[in-house]
Chains A and B, each alone.
Chain A
Amino acid sequence: MEGAWTRIMHSVQLTSSGRMHLQQGEVECQLVDAVDLDCEGGAGWTLKTGLLTLTTHRLLWLDEKGKKAWAVPLGAVGQLYAVKKSIKSMFAAPRMRFQAWTQRDGKLATHGQRVAELVLTLVFRGQSGVPDGFVQRFAEVLQAKAWQQKRLEESPSGGHKGAGSSLEASVHKRPTVSTLNPAMAGVSGILRKEQEQWEETDKNLHDAFQDLNGLMSKAKEMVILAEKMRVRLLTGQASTVEEEGVGTNQEMQDWMLSVGITSPVTKESAGALYHQQLSRQLADFVREPLKRSGGMLAMVDAYCLFNRARGTELISPEDLLQACTIWQTLDVPVRLRKFDSGVMVIQSKSQSDDEVFLRLTMLVSNGEAEKLGISAAEAARALGMAPALAREQLLAAEGQGLLCRDDGVDGLRFFSNFFKDINASTIFQES
């Protein structure tokens, strides 16, 4: 049912796992469940009992059942009103109010054109008070104005805008070289320039790791750096300084994948919702690795990949297992699968067993394989998945009576189940 808020609030897209699409550089700060977003006034409306997410850029509200989400861009937020403690507030659900500007068409204003004001209230149902640190964080992100940062520019001398965030301990400014400097001419000039860039990069890394707060703001810069390195590798350039720390193209590609996430869900930001949000984020994350590994991914691999991408705030194996188990209750396109041998894999729902079995039976009926069978390694190559997982599929197909095994000098191999086709009562009759 479309209400008055559609005119005012900004809409938000959802991923296939039911998580909200974040903007570039947007980082989640806190999640609170069961929150009403209430608009006072004559033509008032209320968005009831949704999931509230405070990010560096917006205040997001998600209706989990209806799969709709709305946003209040922080650029439209004005004053935060202090949480008043009164007799009345003791018996009512805790709440906080803030002011927001709207533009001419009634929508919350993102830049400039502030025409009217309204007052919004967050009602925290199911909480005994306003969640710890919420108001402070709200104030912090408002001040940081992360949504105003332009994309970090790339210039030959490495000049860019520093992150002007109150979260950062120190601000770094770079000089921009615009006039032609004789010292920068010629091959030695190029080499010197490269050297300076790398010293700068080194300083960047050094500063970043000094201070975790600084690291958070540097995270975006790190991604840019990684992107730069990737492009360099792809185009085949490599300075001597670079070669030290850079491995093969494949290694770099793997590393790229691991810096894909800039907004890790943490116990701190999601509290009691930790597992559910982690579960959804994990579901989103594994889709890419699944595509690259034939639709099946071992839990161990998922654990490594996911933690590498998170960087800090690593999750434990138990958390991972729980997150996967929760998938059953959510509407996500992946599932946890346990084989008889105990091996657990993450499998894309779109990959059905029947489809894999069909491919396997076709494999064993083909040419050489008819006489020699196939091994797990050969099946892995043909199916594009890890050998251990291919073996599980072979065993599963065997269990279904589609294949039979040969345990000979060449190791374990699988054949088409010819036993099935033999009529035992007639095969030995004299013809």
Chain B
Amino acid sequence: MADFSFPYFYNYPPYFTLQPVRDTREKQVELWKQLILKYCKHHKYFVVDLEEGDFPLFANANIDRKLTYEAREVFLGALVSEGKAEWMDKGHRRCLILWRRIQDWAELLLSFVRENGMEDSVMTLEEIMSGDETRGSELAGIDRGVLIRGIKILEQKGKAAMFKGQATDDDGVKFSAH
């Protein structure tokens, strides 16, 4: 995977200070929203921990600056408002980044199944997330929670059915994706 290329302003200290002036703040929020989405998509990160040090994007060692918790909450909160992220807890400590919408993940899964002639097959969730068949495809590395929600959408369309295995490792999905 190619190195992530940071925008030039990522090295400007003010980018890491939550701006108090409204217009400037709006622009700053917009830039961080896009940066977060792009970064997560590149690295296939789904969950961001707001605790210090856990998410490398929020700190730039080159200029010795990092975002405060307040700033992180503001920027992620903006993504949540836009429907591109979800808080995973009431305390806003963890955030699920939907750099691809759930319904788009469902579509992706369906296309994969059709392209690989797996219309009637069965797969475990583990196999989809990290198995041989999906290696190198967009599906590889998908978050389990996101996958399940995607499958649920397919279920509603009658294209798939989830089932529980003996162990969670064996939880899987049967496709009827004609």
A residues with a Cβ closer than 8 A to B are: 373, 398-399, 401, 404-409, 413, 415, 417-420, 422, 424, 427-428
Contacts of A427 in B (CB 8 A): 7, 31, 34
Which of B21, B31, B38 sits near A424, CB closer than 8 Å? Answer: B31
Q: How large is the interface on B (under 10, 10 to 19, 20 to 34, 35 or more residues)?
A: 20 to 34
Question: B7, A428: Cβ atoms under 8 Å?
Answer: yes
Q: Is the CB of B24 within 8 A of A401?
A: yes
**Complex: chain B residue closest to A401, CB-CB:** B23
B residues near A405, Cβ cutoff 8 Å: 14, 17, 19-20
Across the interface, which residues of A come within 8 angstroms of B75, CB to CB? none
Provide the residues of chain A in CB contact with B65, threshold 8 Å.
406, 408
Distance in angstroms between the alpha carbons of A408 and B30 in the assembled complex: 21
B70 to chain A, nearest CB (A): 11
A332 CA to B38 CA, complexed, in Å: 58
Q: Give which listed residue, A373, A404, A413, contacts B19 with CB less than 8 A.
A: A404
Interface residues of B in 123-160 (CB under 8 A from A): none
Which of chain B's residues have a CB closer than 8 A to the CB of A407? 17
Query: How far, in Å, is A417 (CB) from chain B's closest CB?
Result: 6
Residue in B13, B16, B64 with the greatest tally of chain A CB atoms within 10 Å: B13
Q: Bound state CA distance, A132 and B148, in angstroms?
A: 97
B12 at the interface (CB under 8 A from A): yes
Q: How far is the CA of A63 from the CA of B132 in the complex (A)?
A: 100
In the complex, the answer to whether A406 meets B38 with C-beta atoms within 8 Å is no
Contact B13 A373 (CB under 8 A): yes
B-chain residues with CB within 8 Å of residue A404 when the two chains form the complex: 14, 17, 19, 21, 24
Chain A residues near B103 (CB-CB < 8 A): none
Indicate which residue in B7, B13, B24 contacts A417 across the interface (CB closer than 8 Å): B24
29 pairs, CB–CB < 8 Å, chain A vs chain B: A373-B14, A398-B20, A398-B21, A404-B24, A405-B14, A405-B20, A406-B13, A406-B16, A406-B17, A406-B65, A407-B17, A408-B13, A408-B16, A408-B65, A415-B13, A418-B12, A419-B9, A419-B19, A419-B24, A419-B27, A419-B28, A420-B24, A422-B27, A424-B27, A424-B31, A427-B34, A428-B7, A428-B34, A428-B35
**With the chains together, A409 CA to B16 CA distance in Å?**
12
Contact of A408 among B7, B20, B64 (CB under 8 A): B64
A408 vs B28: C-alpha distance when bound (angstroms): 17
Hey, which chain A residues are within 8 Å of B13, CB to CB?
373, 406, 408, 413, 415
Known: A409-B64, A428-B35. A415 touches B9 (CB 8 A): no
Partner of B9, one of A398, A408, A422: A422
Q: Are A418 and B35 in contact (CB under 8 A)?
A: no
- Residues of chain A with a CB closer than 8 A to B21's CB: 398-399, 401, 404
List residues of B (1-41) whose CB comes within 8 Å of A's CBs: 7, 9, 12-14, 16-17, 19-21, 23-24, 27-28, 30-31, 34-35, 38
Chain B residues closer than 8 Å to A422, beta-carbon distance? 9, 27, 31
The total of Cβ contacts below 8 Å across the A-B interface reads 61
Return chain A residues, CB-CB under 8 Å to B7. 427-428
| CA–CA, A373 and B28, complex, Å | 18
- What B residues does A401 contact at CB under 8 A? 21, 23-24
**Residues of B contacting A418 with CB < 8 Å?**
9, 12, 14
A112 to chain B, nearest CB (A): 72
A399 contact set on B, CB distance < 8 A:
21
Task: Beyond A401-B24, A427-B34, list 13 extra A-B contacts (CB 8 Å).
Answer: A373-B14, A398-B24, A404-B17, A404-B19, A404-B21, A408-B16, A415-B14, A417-B24, A419-B9, A420-B24, A424-B31, A428-B34, A428-B35
Residue from B9, B21, B65 whose CB has the most chain A CB atoms within 10 Å: B21
* Minimal Cβ-Cβ distance residue in A for B28: A419
Contact of B31 among A413, A415, A417, A419 (CB under 8 A): A419
Complex: how many Å from CA A415 to CA B35? 21
Report the separation of the CA atoms of residues A267 and B65 in the bound assembly, to the nearest whole angstrom.
Answer: 58
CB distance from B157 to the nearest CB of A (A): 32
In the assembled complex, which residues on chain A have CB atoms less than 8 Å from the CB atom of B30?
A: 424
B residues less than 8 Å from A415 (CB atoms): 12-14
Do B24 and A428 touch across chains, with their CB atoms under 8 A apart? no
- Whole-angstrom CA separation of A419 from B35 in the bound complex: 14
Known A-B contacts A406-B13, A419-B24; the reply to A428 vs B19 at CB < 8 A is: no
Could you tell me if A420 and B27 are in contact, using CB atoms closer than 8 angstroms? yes
User: Residues of B contacting A409 with CB < 8 Å?
Assistant: 64
CA distance A428 to B5 in the complex (A): 10
A406 x B14 contact (CB < 8 A): yes
- The interface residues of chain A lying within 8 Å CB-to-CB of B34 are 424, 427-428
In the bound complex, what is the Cα–Cα distance between A417 and B9 (angstroms)? 11
Which A residue's beta carbon lies closest to that of B18? A407
Q: A418-B9, A419-B31, A424-B31 are in contact. Are A408 and B24 (CB under 8 A)?
A: no
In the bound complex, CA of A406 to CA of B82 (Å): 27
